[in-house]
Chains A and B, each alone.
Chain A
Amino acid sequence: MPLSKEYLIKRVILQIAVVLGVIIITFIITRVIPARPEFLWAGPHPTPEQLQKAREFLHLDKNILVQLYLYLSDLFKGNWGISWRTRSPILDDLSHALPATLELIIIAFTFAIIIGVPIGILAAVKRGGITDNMIRVLTVLGASMPTFWLALIVQLVFASWLHWFPAAGRVTDLLVIQTGFHPITGFYLIDSLLEGKISIFLDTLWHMILPAVVLSLYPMSLSARMTRALMVEVLSEQYIRSATVWGIPSNIVVYKYALKNAISPVIASLGLSFGYTIVGAFLVELIFVWPGIGLYLAMSLLSFDYPAVIGVVIITAIFYTTINTTVDIAHAYIDPRVKL
């Protein structure tokens, strides 16, 4: 059953409507809260005239709907506004912060797959045994542990007590100064290799391990459990039994014939949890002082820097809706009974 064109167009329009709705709601909420952004804009010791000027400049003297209209019209022109806190264009700030967050999440997912899938296979092969039960307990724990709490504990144990890893930050300042490292793409792991600065590469990886491990725990448990379930199903199929009877070594049976059929749904479901991991990343970033979107949002919220907050909200909304739309389209494609 082919997907209709109308269905796709409907979906895309719906997505745009959702993002727009989120922007409008956030905008109105931030304007209704009794804060005084003109204080932030006008600097430390302003005069009453300067405060008045700041109010006019930020359109705070106008009706809220007029403010909203002005904001949206700027947004469509590609002007996301100026951060009241950092005084730089928000799009600039976000383009510095987003790579840091994405880098962290990508590394976390790499961990999740490299560790989660083999654990799942192990549990499936040894199903019903002690190993299987232990893995089950661990994965349930991993999936249900609050990320922020785990982040604090891990930081306390491995950074503060054992000093195995740095407690916070993305890279050692000292090294950056010594090597004259200057990011190009904002993905430090790539940049350091491009510039041939291996010490920076290792240092960044070193800083990344704790936050990435904490962040990877949920997708890791998810992939382990899914892999196990699917492998158990596949291993009881006819063709696997035939293969075993034919005398093909069990390793090859498991990893070549069974895994091939079991792995694709696992990857798909991980892809879906990618977007949701961003929210987990916010808290982890705050705890590990990781200079990404999450930390930027926290700092902006603390100083009532609303244009920046809305900027982060837009990015998050786009992420979420894109993932949801993709899921729905994929779902509809697989199951023609789904109607919008």
Chain B
Amino acid sequence: MQRSVILVIVVVIVVIIVAGVYFTQFLVPSVTTTTTTPSLTTTTVSPTKTSVTYASLSEMTTADPSTDFSNSILWMAVVYEPLLIYDPLQNKFIPALAQSYEVSNNGTIWTFHLRKNAKFHDGVPVNAFAVKFSIERTIALGQGAAFIWSPVDKIETPDNYTVVFYLKYPAPFDKIVASAYGAWIFSPEVVKYANAKNSTDPKIADWFNAGHDVGSGAYKLVKWDPENEVILEKFNEWWGWNDPTYPLKSNKAPDIFIVKIVKDSVTQESLVVAGTIDIAEYVPLTDLGTLKNNPNLRVVTKSSFQNLLMFINTKKAPLDNVLVRKAIAHAIPYSDIVSVARSGLAAVASGPIPHGMWGHFDNLTYSFDLNLAKQLLAQAGFSGGINRTLLLTYTAGDIYEQRTAELIRTRLAEIGIKVEIRPMSWEEQWSLAQSGWKDPSVAQDLFIMYWWPTYITPYDFLYNMYSSESQLFNLAYYTNSEFDKIINDAHYWEGINPEKSLQLYYKAQKILYDDVPTIPLWDMVDVRVSTIRIGNLSDAINPAYPTVIFPQVLTVQY
């Protein structure tokens, strides 16, 4: 009796100890503070330092500048620098690590001249070797947005401050080096810091993900807690602070820039109203009227290059008939969708290239005309409407897509087309759409999704969503060899002869307008709400770098 009791107790204790050891042994401690200066906490920033807090809706992803292709851009664009920064609204380039560049006549040799006074946060000067090292590591890892470098044949460094890229074929390479993803330059010393064997050793990614940075940007990463907050501190030796000709900075920039993860728009709104955070990434759009009237707040809107499109299954009857597709295009209440679904914070789309981007044209919107839509249907032989219910899929949980889908369904019913709208998780929605390449009859009829470019070129939109080679995102199953050839030519000329390229891009979009494989619905407008003490917010936002606020451009009142 006694012995067995003891035995039971011993067994239980052993189990607990084994479990405890297992968990402590194998549990990688989650990274929190890494190199935070002792004086710095979220609350007690010493009074001589100014700080700005920005609320982000999504958690941060990885901290590896070669592979991140997601939310971490929000701080990476501040901590790391590319060779050039692209200002898409002016269609001009601002020198970052490269002061000047030239391109050979055939568009395949691009030479960049680096500035001589830039240095990484570890004190190592930025030179041609570092540029070559960074880009080659990104290419070798082949993750995230590494595909932007696919034109590169080889990179050479004739001297310390000159980098020459030899391309396999002409490409708008200045736009590529200014990409928001996969184009960051970092210190080659990282191999040493991470005790790695070579540049592709996974140890380097682990070292980055432990909260270290080796960028050359205006701010340093001082705290990395991707699920809660990321803290950046001014890098006083950044070359830009003392360069009088450089536009992207202010002399009242904050000393500390804090990115707080606040996953809910209602909370973000109350935080910015209370003044606890300075900038909200995302507030409920319906409350913007009230917020605009609040004297303590500023509401800044800026065009973004994210747009929403509806893909039509062009290989499934009756949608394989272009007249039916045109009928649908004329039965969609574009302005109502913008005002109801987005509270007016969007522009009615005109072609697949968003407003404000080079390659966008203003005369490609379909008119909303139900009579015309009915005529077109009758011409196609469906005067009474279509005798089966069409399936429209959208991503569950996205309220804008949901409202858009509802409005489309209502109007299509008026011309005799019944639509079932089905919310699905993005993976499910995408997976079903993929099956359409094998058998279009089992896939959806209509499919709503967002697109945004990796680097800012019309080719990104036109190739991914319409080329017959792009089965991943061409979810209208559209195949048109003439179109494919035109966009490839346009891309070829983009870096050498922009005027010629632009004409070709227009021609391609005109083909899409007539064939209606997709119906572009609206182009998003970004909204940021800040407290009154933050100035220059509009200049700190650049649609080529989505979700980024460049803190070096902000002015903060004490």
User: Which residues of A pack against B, CB within 8 Å?
Assistant: 1-3, 5, 8, 12, 34-37, 39-40, 43-51, 53, 78-79, 86-89, 91-92, 95-96, 173-174, 177-180, 182, 302-304, 322, 326, 329, 333
Contact = CB atoms under 8 A, between A and B. Distances in A.
Nearest to B146: A50
Contact of A39 (B25, B270, B430): B430
Contacts of B62: 87
B28 to A, nearest CB: 6
Nearest to B22: A78
A173 B464 contact: no
A53 B534 CA distance: 44
Contact of A45 (B5, B26, B276, B473): B473
B28 A91 contact: yes
A138 B412 CA distance: 53
A92 B143 CA distance: 24
A53 B142 contact: yes
B147 A180 contact: no
Most-contacted residue by chain B among A5, A96, A177 (CB, 10 A) = A177
Given A39-B430, A174-B276, A8 B11 contact: yes
A304 B430 CA distance: 13
6 contacts: A1-B1, A8-B7, A44-B70, A173-B271, A174-B274, A178-B276
A46 B69 CA distance: 10
B371 interface: no
B176 to A, nearest CB: 15
A302 B41 contact: no
B360 interface: no
B278 to A, nearest CB: 11
B146 to A, nearest CB: 8
Given A95-B23, A177-B53, A48 B277 contact: no
B23 A79 contact: no
B42 A91 contact: no
A47 B147 contact: yes
Contacts of B271: 173-174, 177
A112 to B, nearest CB: 24
A50 B142 contact: yes
Nearest to B258: A177
B46 interface: no
Given A36-B431, A174-B274, A178-B276, A92 B28 contact: yes
Contacts of A3: 4, 7-8
B26 A91 contact: yes
Interface string B27-46: 11010100000000111100
Given A2-B4, A180-B44, 19 more contacts: A2-B3, A3-B7, A34-B431, A45-B145, A48-B472, A78-B22, A78-B25, A87-B62, A91-B28, A92-B30, A95-B23, A173-B271, A174-B276, A177-B53, A180-B41, A304-B427, A322-B15, A333-B4, A333-B8
Contact of B32 (A89, A91, A182): A182
Contacts of A174: 267, 270-271, 274, 276
Given A78-B22, A91-B26, A177-B276, A40 B11 contact: no
A70 to B, nearest CB: 17
A36 B430 contact: yes
A35 B23 contact: no
Given A50-B142, A180-B41, A304-B427, A95 B8 contact: no
A47 B143 CA distance: 9
Interface in B115-155: 142-145, 147
Given A3-B8, A96-B30, A177-B53, A304 B473 contact: no
B331 interface: no
Contact of A8 (B8, B142, B147): B8
Interface in B60-75: 61-62, 69-70
Contacts of B59: 86
Nearest to A181: B42
Interface of B: 1, 3-5, 7-8, 11-12, 15, 22-23, 25-28, 30, 32, 41-44, 53, 59, 61-62, 69-70, 142-145, 147, 227, 260, 262, 267, 270-271, 274, 276-277, 425, 427-428, 430-431, 434, 454, 464, 471-473
A322 B5 CA distance: 17
A331 to B, nearest CB: 12
A161 to B, nearest CB: 18
B69 A95 contact: no
A43 B427 contact: no
Given A8-B8, A53-B142, A79 B464 contact: no
Given A173-B271, A179-B43, A333-B8, A49 B27 contact: no
B41 A40 contact: no
A40 B276 CA distance: 35
Contacts of A53: 142-143
Contact of A177 (B7, B147, B277, B434): B277
Contacts of B1: 1-2
Nearest to A179: B43
Closest 6 CB pairs of A and B: A78-B26, A3-B4, A180-B43, A180-B42, A2-B4, A36-B431
A129 B201 CA distance: 76
A107 to B, nearest CB: 22
A329 B4 CA distance: 10
A233 B142 CA distance: 74
B473 A35 contact: no
Contacts of B4: 2-3, 333
A66 B412 CA distance: 50
Contacts of A1: 1
A7 to B, nearest CB: 9
Nearest to B145: A45
A43 B67 CA distance: 11
A3 B227 CA distance: 49
B11 A12 contact: yes
B142 A49 contact: yes
A173 B7 contact: no
Nearest to B470: A48
Given A2-B4, A8-B11, A51 B472 contact: yes
A35 B277 contact: no
A303 B70 contact: no
Contacts of B5: 333
A88 B30 CA distance: 9
Nearest to A7: B4
Contacts of B27: 91-92, 95
B464 A45 contact: yes
A168 B15 CA distance: 36
B486 to A, nearest CB: 22
Contacts of B15: 322
Nearest to B277: A177
B276 to A, nearest CB: 6
B30 A35 contact: no
B431 A35 contact: yes
A39 B23 contact: no
Contacts of A46: 472
Nearest to A77: B26
A19 to B, nearest CB: 12
A87 B30 CA distance: 13
A178 B277 CA distance: 10
Contacts of A43: 69-70, 144
Contacts of B43: 178-180
Nearest to A4: B4
